[in-house]
Every structure is written in C-alpha cells, then in structure tokens.
Amino acid sequence: MQLNNIYNMTNTRHDCKKELRGASLKVTPARLGVLAALEQAQTPLDVSEIITYLENKGIKADKVTVFRIINALTDKGLTKQIQFNEGKFRYEHSRKADHHHFVCERCGKIEDVSNCNIDEVEKDIQKKGLLIKRHSLEFFGLCKDCQS
Amino acid sequence: MQLNNIYNMTNTRHDCKKELRGASLKVTPARLGVLAALEQAQTPLDVSEIITYLENKGIKADKVTVFRIINALTDKGLTKQIQFNEGKFRYEHSRKADHHHFVCERCGKIEDVSNCNIDEVEKDIQKKGLLIKRHSLEFFGLCKDCQS
DNA sequence: TGACAAATGCAAATAAGTTGCATATAATAA
DNA sequence: TTATTATATGCAACTTATTTGCATTTGTCA
C-alpha cells in the first residue's frame, strides 16, 4: 500500500495529437486544452475546473463543448470518469488512473492510494462468472491536517 | 469473497419507530415509508424509486420531503449514500451496507460482493496517518446473462 | 484547394438536488 | 386530553450538472 501523488509523475512532454488521432478524434484547440488540463492536474478535475484551466490558457470553449469533449475522451478510453459523492463527475487521464483516492471530508484534499490488492479481489469475483471491466474504490475521512 | 444478495436476508420485522426515535427523529408516515422501502429493497434505491414505493403504499410525500428525509437519515447514520456513476445518488439501509456491489453495465443488475479484504487495505492506509471514516468500492462490467 | 464529416456555439431543455417560507403535525408537558 | 412548541412537510422557485437540437465552423484527406 502506497500513498503518493501519481499526478506529480507525469511525463510533461507527451504527444496529445497522437493520442487524439489514435482514438479517431480530430485535433482541435479545445481538445488539446482538455487533455493538457488533465495531464498537469494534481487531482481529478471537474468540468468547471477544466473550463477555468482553458480560460487561463486563452483557449475559449463553451461549457457544452467541454462536456462533449470529456464524454468523447471517456468513450474512447483516454480519460476516466469518477465520483467522490459530490453530485458531479470528475475526470482523470487514463495514463494516471491505475490507483484510487482518499478524499478528506473537511478540506477536500485528494491523495492517491496505489498498490492495494484490489486486483486479487477482482480475480476472485471473476471466478463467479462476472466480467469486471472497471471498478471504483474511494476512501473518505480526515487527512492528517484536519484531524486536530 | 462471496457474491450473494444481502438484501434478501432482512429480518422483516424491525422496529422502524425505535430506529427513528433513537436518532432523535420524529416518527412520521413518510419516514416510516422511506425506511420500509430501503428495508425491502433488493438493491440500493434512488429517490424516484423511493417515491414510487411510497405511492404504491398509498403514502403521499413530496419529492422534496423525500430528499429531506433521506438526507436526515444519512446524517444520522441510519442509511448510506452511494453512487454507481449514474449522476445521482442511491441509498441503502445501514444495516445492510457492510458489502460492496457489482453493477452490470448492460442490464443494470446489481449484485452484492461481500467478505472482500478491504478492511486490511484500510488498516494499511490508516497507518499513513489518514483517518478513514468510510469507503466506496464498486465493480462494473457484465453479468453472466449479458456476456453472451 | 474543395468536399465532407466531425466539432463547436448557442439556446433551450432535462434531471438531480436545495432553499425559503407558510402550514401542518408529532412529541411533551399540564 | 388538550395546549404548546419544535419539527416536518408542501409548494414554488432556484441552482447546478448535464444533455439535445440545430445552424455554423473547422479539421482532414483526397
């Protein structure tokens, strides 16, 4: 079991254009911006956070466009959709997604949890005849700072 | 690892009134109805399913009232709020909630998963200084019937 | 460079969930 | 049993997240 922040380990140079073309998606400024946002993010982002990122980079894209982009990326498997019981979705780049999260219920800080033995759990379930495609494992509680 | 349906194992006679009073909540027909709905349910219910149950039982309660009731019950710990990446919340009675779920992505069927070793995973994380209050573990894929 | 499919913007719609306030009802004490 | 009071409910309106339809624009590829 490890706690760390996989988001810090991104290879900063990555060819987003290739990623899009490989998924049969046209390369557009908005799409490159969304991918960039998710690559540099320290935590999974919600749609409004993605929009803020785009604005700061001078990329203008309608909210609806961002929804459509993130849905397309998720359909193609480039991104993953997750939820933290907030009533909205968050997204992370698939390349960063082989881990789980700890969400502080007070300050909202998100820490990654990796190397847990969920894979074994999955194998056991598969034996029951179910085909598991993905799973979601999130922990909620108080981080060190918020326990005092 | 066991797959079963904990929802079938409910003790049908249970004193909902005591449960409410124990949580300092007044006993009302709508609240009894919501608790009854979650007790008899085979799977976690969303708000509209709860409303349908109440209608069928001749209990009339506004949608807003149901939201307020389910929030109160969850605040008091009588029920648990979960999500299956549907963009809405589902609720289950806490007495039934010490397990996880497998959700078929095609037919929507939900099966319980119990006795997995998540508790050990939690202990490991606690050692890192995080205080875990709850977690969410859901598997998504295809059930036996939908694999053909 | 032109054609065509795909992407975007805008407006409007839908769905889930919340809030304010006036009224109704459950709990408690007389 | 009734009166009191805090709590719960109903209704209308609102917010936030997300989707849909359609006209226009923009990548891609020949």
Question: Tens of pLDDT along B12-51?
Answer: 446 899 999 999 999 999 999 999 999 999 899 999 999 9
The reply to whether residue A83 touches residue B83, judged by beta carbons under 8 angstroms, is yes
Structural class in CATH, domain A2-147: mainly alpha
Q: What is the C-alpha radius of gyration for chain A, rounded to an integer number of angstroms?
A: 17
Q: Are B1 and B17 in contact (CB under 8 A)?
A: no
What is the β-pairing status of strands B131-142 and B100-104? Answer: parallel
Helix axes B63-75 and B47-56, enclosed angle (nearest 10): 110
Q: Where do runs of H (alpha helix) occur along chain A?
A: 16-22, 29-40, 47-56, 63-75, 118-126
B46 touches chain A (CB under 8 A): no
A113's enclosing H/E stretch is strand A110-114
Q: Identify which of A125, A128, A144 has the shortest CB distance to residue B129.
A: A144
The reply to whether residue A118 touches residue B121, judged by beta carbons under 8 angstroms, is yes
CA distance A46 to A30: 16
The reply to whether residue A136 touches residue B135, judged by beta carbons under 8 angstroms, is no
Q: How confident is chain A (148 residues) per 10-residue block, as mean pLDDT?
A: 62 77 97 97 96 97 98 97 94 89 84 81 85 88 85
Which nucleotides of strand D lie within 7 A of protein CB?
7-13, 16-21, 26-29
Bridge partners (DSSP) of residue A135 are B139
Q: Are A142 and B130 in contact (CB under 8 A)?
A: yes
**B67-104: b (≥16 Cβ within 10 Å) or e:** eebbebbeeeebbbbbbbeeeebbbbbbbbbebbbbbb
Q: Identify which of A83, A121, A136 has the shortest CB distance to residue B1.
A: A121
Name the residue ranges covered by the structural domains of chain B: 2-147
The separation, in Å, between residue A34 CA and nucleotide C11 C1' comes to 24
pLDDT 10s digits, B57-98: 999 999 999 999 999 999 999 999 999 999 999 999 999 877
Q: Are A132 and B141 in contact (CB under 8 A)?
A: yes
